Amino acid sequence: MFMLDAEPESLQLEPKHTALLIIDMQRDFVEPGGFGETLGNDVSLLRDCIEPCRQVLAAARAHGLLVIHTREGHRPDLSDAHAQKIQRGNPALRIGDPGPMGRILIRGEAGHDIIPELYPVAGEPVIDKPGKGAFYQTDLELILQTRGIDTLLVCGVTTEVCVHTTVREANDRGRRCVVLGDCCASYFPEFHAVALRMVVAQGGIFGWVSTAQHFLTAIND
């Protein structure tokens, strides 16, 4: 057991019942030429969270926590992609179009894969999801149930979209969520800040917010 300093209050974690969930740290979102950039975003804003994530990932592995990665993307025939998702906005390239790293957000393409700095190792589940939330149309819930996981340490991108959606989904399923704020990022820094405030509002309506350093200090104490 270890005590984690967090907002709105500290909480006690049991490693065997805690998982690190790293959301969508994919080349299509984080690197130039991917889907994030085609939407007109500055992808460099997401890169600040890579090093804190890397440190947390290393510590989680060293202490035997379950590590789960997610990737947002679609089948090559786009049969699992809603038309409204493909057609929304006016991006330079749409989902499924050829891009610098292969077809945009298509499973099996280079851009869909996880960045090298946080790449999964053998035994770490990778959840391929067609939507924003990690529970929608995936087997994440089954994995958590079979491993007895009641608490998620959540990292990844973007804070206000896929991270927030997943935290809300997990909260509705009775799981505790701790968002490691500096291990998350957004193309819109103001959205990131507000999204973290929303998690801890009203006494922690969706969960807790902590930092990479608080986690590293607690688990290594």
Inter-residue contact 4 to 214 (CB < 8 Å): yes
Catalytic residue among 53, 113, 128, 129: 129
Rg (CA), the chain: 17
Q: Are 69 and 127 in contact (CB under 8 A)?
A: yes
Q: Residue 68's CB: how many other CB atoms inside 10 A? A: 22
Whether residue 129 lies in the annotated active site: yes
Q: Which of 162, 177, 183, 184 is catalytic?
A: 162
Q: How far apart are CA 67 and CA 65, in angstroms?
A: 6
Active site annotation includes 162: yes
Candidates 114, 79, 98, 84; CA nearest to 38 is 98
Sequence-distant (≥ 6) Cβ neighbours of residue 180 within 8 angstroms: 52, 56, 153, 154, 155, 209, 210, 211, 212, 215
The closest alpha carbon to 144, from 117, 166, 112, belongs to: 166
Which residue in 24, 28, 128, 182 is the catalytic one?
Answer: 24
| Contact status, residue 30 vs residue 46, Cβ threshold 8 Å | yes
Residues taking part in catalysis: 24, 129, 162
